Amino acid sequence: MAIDKIYDDIPGTVVFDSDQAIKGYHLNQFCISLRLAPNREAFKADPQNYIDQFPMTPEQREAALNQEWNLLLELGGNIYYTSKLAAFHGINFQNLAGLMTGMGSDYRDMMIAGGRNIDGNRYQSEWDEK
């Protein structure tokens, strides 16, 4: 029996479940390899060659090289992994959130003002109405 994805109606959220984890395995292993300095240097020296050590899909490969942060999550990436790729590019967690939300530097101001309110952000239907 397939797993019931009762979380699919949460807007703007990709739950890193078993299916996503299987899909994103090599992508995530590529990202986490950048935790270590020698790997970061190798990736910097020859991005194409370095990334080809990880047998991910062409779509994942393109998304990684083009820094498409939301697409990476949709293709099986997990934020704790993709954030290592972001860090490689000098992007910290908060700036990464600014990119994923499309808010840029307004994101930090939203957080200081108390964060994204839960009201209107529980169900996809609430986003569709907007």
Partner 1 sequence: MAYISSGVACSHVPALGVASDTGIANDDYYGPIFKGFEFSKQWIENEKPDVIFLVYNDHCTAFDARIIPTFALGCASEYVPADEGWGPRPVPVVQGHRELSAHIAQSLILDSFDITIMNEMEVDHGLTVPLTMMFGQPDEWPCPVVPLAVNVVQYPAPLGSRCYALGKAIRTAIESYPDNLKVCVFGTGGMSHQLQHKRAGLINSEWDDRFMNLLVNEPEKGASIDHIEYLREAGSEGIELVMWHVMRGALNEQVEEVHRFYHVPASNTAVGHLILENK
- Interface residues toward partner 1, by CB under 8 A: 6-7, 10-18, 21, 24-25, 28-29, 32, 34-37, 70, 73, 78-81, 83-84, 87, 93-94, 96-97, 100-103, 107, 110-112, 114-118, 121-122
The nearest distance, CB 58 to partner 1, in angstroms, is 20
The distance of closest approach from Cβ of residue 38 to partner 1 in the complex, given in angstroms and rounded to an integer, is 11
CA distance 97 to 37: 24
Looking at the Cβ atoms of 27 and 61, the one nearer to partner 1 is: 27
Distance in Å, CB of 25 to partner 1, minimum = 6
In whole angstroms, what is the distance from residue 85 CA to residue 71 CA? 14
Closer Cβ to partner 1, 42 or 110, answer by number: 110
3-state secondary structure 13-44: CCCCCHHHHHHCHHHHHHHHHCCCHHHHHHHH
Q: Is 80 helix (H, G, I), strand (E, B) or coil?
A: helix
Shortest distance, position 46 Cβ to partner 1, whole Å: 20
Closer Cβ to partner 1, 24 or 61, answer by number:
24
Backbone region of residue 76 per phi and psi (left: phi > 0; alpha: psi in -120 to 50; beta: other values): left
Rounded Cα gap, residues 26 and 110, in angstroms: 34
**Is the CB of 48 or the CB of 117 nearer to partner 1?**
117
